[in-house]
Amino acid sequence: MSFAVADGAQIAYETRGDGPPVLLCQGLGYARWGWEPVAERLAEDFLVASFDNRGIGESDVTPGPYTVAQLAADAVAVLDDAGLERAHVVGASLGGMVAQQVAIGHPERVEKLVLLCTTPGGADGYPMPEQTVRLFAEAPSLPPERALRRFVENSLSVGGELVDTLYERRLANPLDMAGWQAQAAAGAAWDADGRLAGIAAPTLVLHGTADNVLDYRNSELLAERIPDARLRLFAGAGHLFFWEHPDEVVRAIREFLQ
């Protein structure tokens, strides 16, 4: 593990593998371990860098609220510290917003762009599905571990062993609530605001059609607005579809990047 420094904050990251560099940007409430089903597989062909967004994991929890631009600057600081002048950038959920901002604000650093289960934000983006809105409203009245399990269940389209696995991983990596709230503020305020047409990097957009957290139709908006973007939907898959279908997702990413 290494640390980059961005605006005085330490950002924890690690690299593995060898080959063309790939930067993985994770979403709200998940540290870099959230790429567990993907990172090792990609590292068979690429040099994979994954990091903890500020506010979670082994990165500093600085005062919030954060912005997506701030989180994107952290991602670029990781590239700088790792000596990566240019990389493929892969982002999921909040990390997909960060990846969009890196491609918009730092186009010279992005070779290709892969956006998973994310949104362009703004007033014309599709809002959070009602099921998740209700869960956020109900969660404060639930015992913390019960609320956590409900959020894990809500992020998947399947139950059983995968829910247990993710729930146990979340318990083993507890959140700092101040950091979570600061990250959530960044996601809530995100708006690509007409800038997607300026993304020059070849782009692949992936989304599960049973996503209860971010309406999958936002991926269609992204694919429409980013020049020559490709779209692939995973029928019946949930928000964390890369945990549900890791082999298919890695295959799609690998084929696109290669």
Q: What confidence tens digit (pLDDT) does each residue in 43-78 have? A: 999 999 999 999 999 999 999 999 999 999 999 999
Per-residue model confidence as pLDDT tens digits over 224-234 = 999 999 999 99
Instruction: Tell me if 246 sits within 8 A of 41, measured CB to CB.
Output: yes
At 209, is the secondary structure helix, strand, or coil?
coil
User: CB-side exposure of 227: number of CA atoms within 13 Å?
Assistant: 9
Q: Which domains does the chain have, with CATH numbers?
A: 2-127+177-257 (3.40.50.1820)
pTM: 0.97
Name the pLDDT band for 131 (thresholds 50, 70, 90).
very high
| Average confidence (pLDDT) over 27-50 | 97
The contacts of residue 188 (CB under 8 Å, 6+ apart) are none
